[in-house]
Structure 1
Amino acid sequence: MLLDYDNGVLESIKNVYGDSYHSFLEAITRPSRRLYVRVNRLRTSVGEVIDTLRSRGIAVFQDEELEEAIYFYVEGPYNIELYNYDNVVVADKYAAESVYLGSNLYIPGIVKCPNSVRKGSEVVIVTQKGLPIAEGISMINCNEIRYLKRGIAIEVTKSVYKAPKIVELPEYKAGLIYPQSLAAMYVAKALDPKPNDIVIDTCAAPGGKTGHIVEYTMGKAFIIAFDHSKKRLEEMKRELERLKHTPFIEMWRADSRFLHIDFSWIKADKIIVDPPCTSLGVRPKLYDTKRYRDVISASRYQLQFLKSASKILKIGGTIVYSTCTITIEENENVIESIIESDKCLKVVDTGIARGSKGIATSYSHNYTRFHPHIHDTTGYFIAKLTKIC
């Protein structure tokens, strides 16, 4: 596992965790023991999904608090060795993190596949840093890979960790479940959208929180999902089509830092601001490189999204701000910067009983944090703001 963090990033982590920062660093290199998915309650019930999975011998359980959340236990770790150096397939970072948990390797996730690998060959899958993460059987001739765009390249037979292959479950293909971390599911709960609310998701792609709002309101809210990336919006559209959510959502391409200028007519009841961040809380990390300048740059960027969101929010409306990172700079400091500059915004309690409170700042008792080494979740931050004037 390679975590390449400079002294500034390490100090930022220590400011949160003190002497236990090593425990945090160790935790983000392995997956949570629970792999969560969200049941699409607009189309089925939690009980039906659990029953059909268990009928096929798959062990699945309902979360203790969130009704729509179900989980599978993650087994491992197991040892993977480079037993056949000639047949080594290299996966990109995103694909490798899924393969690490037992997912098959798909063609778009391949960085390098030797021409010697033929259909039926036994192979070892490694990260771009050379770490072996899985063994498998090739489903393709690698000398033909340039002609192929999608589909399974390597069927994984053994991986460092093992969990059900979510995207290959019939329930996934039918749009009945959506892979989402437990912590991220609490964003919709904190937002608490109601039927007929105008709800804005400012950095919406890939659509997990947008889809959750649809299900939370049973399709009865007016939802606009913004993202600046055409490619990510296209991917989001495909995912929401799988869930059968597209009739309930408007998807618009725009830079959400300027919604108050480009869409000044919007007056929203509820807004999600889940901006780009340093993702230090995402796990498992097989390798990661961060510099303190990334933290500072992200925090300045994040504040711009909040400033714009506040200007299109109705009086009495709610903003929920969330990140999958753990630095104070990107979390508590961003919130306290916005309320210092915008006196019409007030920090209120998230209403989430799970997790921990924020780090010692003026409003820390109102924030929610999830810590990988304490709660065995993604590292996550959630804050809730209301507009009072």
Structure 2
Amino acid sequence: MWIDFNGIRIDKDLYNEFLQYISDKEIERILLAIKRPPHRYYIRANTVKITPEELVERLSKRFSVYRDEYLEEALWIPIRGPFNVPSARKEVVAEKRAAESVYMGSDLYAPGVLKAPGVRRGDEVNVVSPDGQVVAYGVAEMDGLDMVKYRRGLAVRTLRSVYEAPKLRELEEFARGYFYDQSMPAMWAGRLAAALGARRAIDLNASPGGKTTHMAQLSIHVIAFDRSRPKVERIIENARRLGLEHLVDVLVHDSRYVDRDFPFLRGDVALVDPPCSDLGVRPKLSHTISMRDVETLARYQRQFIAAAARLARYVIYSTCTLTFTENEGNVLWASEELGLKTVSIYVPRAVEGWGCGNCRRFMPNVFDAPGFFLAVLSQ
């Protein structure tokens, strides 16, 4: 049996897991919040190239930008909306992730197009998700057949989207490496590594490089792993743009086996941010996840935790999801099976974990942020 929260679908077993820790009204508020973006869009000032004050001064000439209350390097930009999107006679169907970006005001590029029947260059079009949700109105910059055939170039220039955030990657400041777009909760992973006194960190799930480059920005040497060569190349590209490549070593490898294949590798901190059920990522136009999916992911995540525990004294464990099984459940497993202990951490605006006093959660219904989980484990 599936329970549908306006396109966010969880099965009854997962719903019942949530009910053990929060009320049915809270479950509804959280899952409906996933459909919309937070009111703040965060970026991280790259303090090796520019001060946060200087970056605010530069960006505020184009749009409103503010300093975060707790994180010195964090800046945020108000997200506007929701807006009514004009109707057009023709549609361009975008794959889900591309549609979610366009929903926030991005242009649509050809690799994200699924189909565009009858669309000609210059046509007014609606960009829609695979399930038919209208996310934007814009103008086609190429014929629909070319969008699908050639898979490159700007497909639709967005004129009005449901929500609007600045197109940051088009800015000169982005090209110069003055900032990295990263959620506020995710920045706390790097901050915790610095607070633990790390000089050398191992990032087991490093792509696209947000946490890796943040730790490097904080003068921590990072050995970063990903099993996908294209993802590794993306990490390298980000490190170079930010001017941090001298502090980042990147390897193509399945990091579940890194302790076996690199027996002399050691760090002060090992960071585990593994694939998860993504129930904290915002906005989501649609999402379907079952308890069985969650349990399968949790078993996979534990392989990374076990490897990390053999590489460093401290393990920082984070996810962008909200389930107990993938979060506190994995911390409990690490305690029982690996003998690890949780460390008390200071993370403003996060709430105490479910049954784990030292764990921290960012909850969309408590503070308007993406859902996120953080814990520090030690030997």
Q: Structure 1 pair 194/347, CA: closer, same or farther in 2 (3 Å)?
A: closer
Are residues 1:209 and 2:215 paired? no
Tell me the residue number matched to 2:344: 349
Alpha-carbon offset, residue 79 of structure 1: 1.9
Tell me the residue number matched to 2:3: none
Are residues 1:142 and 2:144 paired? yes
CA distance in structure 1 between the aligned counterparts of 2:254 and 2:205, rounded to whole angstroms: 9
Contact 1:193 1:199 in 2 (8 A): no
Are residues 1:10 and 2:2 paired? no
TM-score normalized by the length of structure 2: 0.94
**Residue aligned with 2:60, SS:** helix
RMSD: 1.6
Contact 1:350 1:382 in 2 (8 A): no
Deviation track 1:246-277 (CA, whole Å, cap 9, x = no partner) reads 22211101111111211111121111111111
CA distance in structure 2 between the aligned counterparts of 1:82 and 1:256, rounded to whole angstroms: 48
CA distance in structure 2 between the aligned counterparts of 1:15 and 1:112, rounded to whole angstroms: 43
Tell me the residue number matched to 1:54: 60
Tell me the residue number matched to 2:74: 69
Are residues 1:327 and 2:326 paired? no
Alpha-carbon offset, residue 149 of structure 1: 4.1
Q: 1:37 aligns with which of 21, 39, 43?
A: 43
Q: Structure 1 pair 381/245, CA: closer, same or farther in 2 (3 Å)?
A: same
Alpha-carbon offset, residue 147 of structure 1: 5.5
Tell me the residue number matched to 1:368: 360
The AA in structure 2 aligned to 1:349 is S
Are residues 1:111 and 2:77 paired? no
Tell me the residue number matched to 1:288: 287
Contact 1:193 1:213 in 2 (8 A): no
Tell me the residue number matched to 1:158: 160
The AA in structure 1 aligned to 2:368 is D
CA distance in structure 1 between the aligned counterparts of 2:275 and 2:148, rounded to whole angstroms: 32
Tell me the residue number matched to 2:256: 257
Q: 2:193 aligns with which of 191, 198, 213?
A: 191
Alpha-carbon offset, residue 193 of structure 1: 6.3
CA distance in structure 1 between the aligned counterparts of 2:31 and 2:91, rounded to whole angstroms: 28
TM-score normalized by the length of structure 1: 0.92
Q: 1:380 aligns with which of 349, 372, 379?
A: 372
* Runs of at least 4 residues off by over 6 Å: 193-196
Q: 1:340 aligns with which of 313, 336, 346?
A: 336
CA distance in structure 1 between the aligned counterparts of 2:207 and 2:69, rounded to whole angstroms: 28
CA distance in structure 2 between the aligned counterparts of 1:164 and 1:27, rounded to whole angstroms: 21
Alpha-carbon offset, residue 196 of structure 1: 7.6
Tell me the residue number matched to 2:85: 80
Unaligned runs of 5+ in 1: none
Contact 1:193 1:216 in 2 (8 A): no
CA distance in structure 1 between the aligned counterparts of 2:221 and 2:36, rounded to whole angstroms: 39
CA distance in structure 1 between the aligned counterparts of 2:333 and 2:198, rounded to whole angstroms: 31
Q: How does 1:161-240 map to 2 (within 5 A)?
A: 161-192=163-194, 197-217=199-219, 221-240=220-239
Higher mean C-alpha deviation, range 250-259 or range 75-84: 75-84
Contact 1:16 1:326 in 2 (8 A): no
The AA in structure 1 aligned to 2:156 is I
CA distance in structure 1 between the aligned counterparts of 2:201 and 2:326, rounded to whole angstroms: 24
Percentage identity across paired residues of the two chains: 37
Aligned length: 373
CA distance in structure 2 between the aligned counterparts of 1:111 and 1:244, rounded to whole angstroms: 36
CA distance in structure 1 between the aligned counterparts of 2:233 and 2:32, rounded to whole angstroms: 35
Deviation track 1:31-73 (CA, whole Å, cap 9, x = no partner) reads 00001111111111111111111123x1111111101110111
Contact 1:318 1:386 in 2 (8 A): yes
CA distance in structure 2 between the aligned counterparts of 1:14 and 1:140, rounded to whole angstroms: 49
CA distance in structure 1 between the aligned counterparts of 2:154 and 2:88, rounded to whole angstroms: 22
Contact 1:283 1:378 in 2 (8 A): yes
**Residue aligned with 1:373, SS:** coil
Contact 1:107 1:149 in 2 (8 A): yes
Q: Structure 1 pair 71/230, CA: closer, same or farther in 2 (3 Å)?
A: same
CA distance in structure 2 between the aligned counterparts of 1:339 and 1:309, rounded to whole angstroms: 14
Contact 1:126 1:133 in 2 (8 A): yes
Q: Structure 1 pair 196/274, CA: closer, same or farther in 2 (3 Å)?
A: closer
Unaligned runs of 5+ in 2: 1-5
